[in-house]
Amino acid sequence: MLIKNAFVIFKDKIEKTDVLVKNGRIADIGGNLTDDEVLDLEGKYLAPGFIDIHNHGGYGYDYMDNTVEAFENILRFHSDNGITSAVASTVTAPRETVEKTLAVAREVIAKKGAHAKLLGVHLEGPYLSFQNKGAHAPAYLKIPAQDDYQYILDNADIIRQITLSPELDGSVELTRKLVEKGVVVSLGHDNAILPEILPVVNAGASNLTHIFCAMSMVVMKNNKRYVGLREYGLIDDALSAEVIADNHHITPELLKMIYKCKGGDGMCLISDCLRAGGMKADGTLYSLGKKDDPTSQQFKVADGVAVLADGKTYAGSIQPISQMLRNVVFDGGVPLIEAIKMVTSTPARIIKADKYIGSIEVGKCADFCVLDKDLRVEKTIIEGKIIKQ
């Protein structure tokens, strides 16, 4: 297939040119290419397919419903919103539930479905701080030094990322073991101060889970002022940052500050989307994590964000990253080319998948998102196949 007349969004420029797709890969880029099958984009943007490395659900499903059907519906929600690859996030839950999620994810990855590609799993917990647990069920929080985490190491081939809190006993050792196995260690849901953060960063932690949300900040202790993960994360270039750019969790002013410190290469947008994504906001109560589990946290949708039943604590977002891209450009004033990095090349690099996805280059997967002038998703193309139009 030859994709013609597109404003192609490359990493360093936007240029009107054509892209040739063969066997699911980008075969050539340029002006004098031909093919029997032509897709004329009539001056629309051709961006790399979006990548969401932190999300929990959509279309009424949560990955932790633990069925192939749930995964497929969530991945359809994603591809309907311009996402071509996603990582499935868990919440803290009984170990058997998490192990089941890993097993279903393994099945879905092997099956290769008709929607967004599943790249693996992000374990959000169980090694999170009680003080900054956010919407995670407190009953299942654990401390690495007191827990048998062999099941995590055994599934390292499909676990792309784990969120842990640096100050917990055993976090440094666990970080070292996970990094050795290629798992990205992302810091967050923490209550740490700098002396507790540095050893985990030195052990190889490389990402920050939704910066500013459920994250430590500057405190006075023993007559000394210590920075927390929010401030340290902004200044250390070794740490990339996830951002829930839904204009609620992160307002445009905060977004501007994070962008000033991290740039498009140092921050990625995540939806953190819950099962209510793509559903009506009619006051319905939804469960976080496994459906019908009496111990799971309940939330509802109000004013474009998910809140716990108490009406105060944010439970996650309901906006896909395609909407967040528009928030970042139109409300945050970020140049389009930098904002596109935050949903393509940067998340690909964070989870170490940038060899084959995340940018429009010859040899990479033919994964694209077609955008109109208002940056609304018109088409999603996965490995050369038009999934949504």
CB under 5 A: which stretch of 13-21, 80-88, 267-275, 305-313 binds Zn ion?
A: 267-275
Count other Cβ atoms within 10 Å, centred on residue 283: 8
Cβ–Cβ < 8 Å for 120, 164: no
Please state, in angstroms and rounded to a whole number, the distance separating the CA atoms of residues 226 and 142: 25
User: By CB under 5 A, is residue 196 in contact with Zn ion?
Assistant: no
Residue 57: CB minimum distance to Zn ion, A: 10
In the 8-state DSSP scheme, what is residue 327? I
Q: How far is the CB of 335 from Zn ion (least distance, A)?
A: 28
The minimum distance between CB 120 and Zn ion, in angstroms, equals 15
Q: What is the CA radius of gyration of the chain?
A: 20
Minimum distance of Zn ion from residue 385's CB (angstroms): 29
- Residue 289 or 358 having the CB closest to Zn ion: 289
Stretches 200-208, 213-221, 265-273, 291-299: which one binds Zn ion (CB under 5 A)?
Answer: 265-273
Stretch that binds Zn ion, among 80-88, 103-111, 186-194, 264-272 (CB under 5 A): 264-272
Site for Zn ion in 107-136 (CB under 5 A): 124
Tokens of 77: 């929600």
* DSSP class per residue in 181-244: TTPEEEE-S----HHHHHHHHHTT--EESSTTSS----EEETTEEE--HHHHHHH-TT-EEEE-
Q: Which of residues 65, 72, 272, 367 is near Zn ion by CB under 5 A?
A: 272
The SS3 call for residue 345 is helix
In the complex with Zn ion, the residue whose CB is nearer, 53 or 205, is 53
Question: Minimum CB separation from Zn ion for residue 90, in Å?
Answer: 9
Given a contact cutoff of 8 angstroms between Cβ atoms, the answer to whether 276 and 103 are in contact is no
With CB under 5 A as the contact rule, which of the stretches 23-31, 229-237, 238-246, 271-279 interacts with Zn ion?
A: 271-279
Helix (H, G, I), strand (E, B) or coil at 29: strand
Least CB distance from residue 330 to Zn ion, whole Å? 25
**CA pair distance 116, 72, nearest whole angstrom:** 9
With contacts defined by CB under 5 A, how many residues of the chain interact with Zn ion?
3
Query: Which helix (H) or strand (E) covers residue 298, if one does?
Result: strand 298-302
Closest-approach residue to Zn ion (CB): 272
- Closer residue to Zn ion (CB): 87 or 369: 87
Contacts of 154 (CB under 8 A, 6+ apart): none
Helices (H), 241-335: 252-266, 321-326
Q: Binding marks (x or -) toward Zn ion, 52..91, rule CB under 5 A?
A: -------------------------------------x--
Nearer to Zn ion, 62 or 80 (CB): 62
Give the nearer residue to Zn ion in terms of CB position, either 52 or 272: 272
Chain residues binding Zn ion by CB under 5 A are 89, 124, 272
